[in-house]
Amino acid sequence: MTPAPIVRHLGLVDYEPTWRAMQRFTEERGPSTPDEIWFLEHPPVFTLGLNARREHVLAPGAIPVLQIDRGGQVTYHGPGQLVVYPLLDLRRLSLGVRRLVEVLEGAVVAYAAEQGVAARGSREAPGVYVGAAKLASVGLRVRRGSSYHGLALNVSLDLEPFGRIDVCGYRGLAVTRLADLCAVSDCAGAARGLLPHLLEGLGFGRRAQSAISTASQAVSSR
């Protein structure tokens, strides 16, 4: 039986060292390395996917812009957004990339439904939507049969910076957040509520081995 993933709650951590830590973890892992799921928040940053077009960044102002190695176009991360990085051996889990996207979307849809919010995934434009507004974004990278990057769920973050970009490459795409739709207003609570649905979607039932550590310990040790 594949062991349940280690779950790390990293708090507020800078984007670039966390990204580099994901790359190192993926490069160094072996066939018996346990999977991990990282829950965290980032300080304000715009990120561009591998093939993203710079013109979708309209007016970044003082917010840094990073070109990174995930799929997708441009998005925004900031405090109050729950970011979930599933570091998974997809071959061991018998998961394809499309199925992993569906699992991430489905976990958010199920969690939102518990809060009385009707959300849906999208095959045409990956992510989770409430009406026409985007609640969560999905962007992944697969290397050596393993995944990194992942999911960004808008909980209580300031939505203004989304107006400075073409969200996910779509001009005028609206965004929303849980704090405006239900009683959820903090990322820690959202992480607790989302995790069981994510584990279930990945085939672990609701089992989890938890490794709670500070951001500096978790990131700098890799």
- Is residue 182 part of the annotated active site? The answer reads no
Are the C-beta atoms of 108 and 195 separated by less than 8 Å? no
The three-state (H, E, C) secondary structure of the chain, written as one string = CCCCCEEEEEEECCHHHHHHHHHHHHHHCCCCCCCEEEEEECCCEEEECCCCCHHHECCCCCCCEEECCCCCCEEEECCCEEEEEEECEHHHHCCCHHHHHHHHHHHHHHHHHHCCCCCEECCCCCCEEECCEEEEEEEEEEECCEEEEEEEEECCCCCHHHHHECHHHCCCCCECCHHHCCCCCCHHHHHHHHHHHHHHHCCCCCCCEECCCCHHHHHHCC
CA nearest to 115, candidates 144, 143, 135: 135
Please give the order of strands across the beta sheet that includes 74-77: 65-67, 45-48, 74-77
168, 175, 181, 198: the catalytic one is 168
CA dihedral 7→205→197→4, nearest 10 degrees, is: 20
Catalytic residues: 168
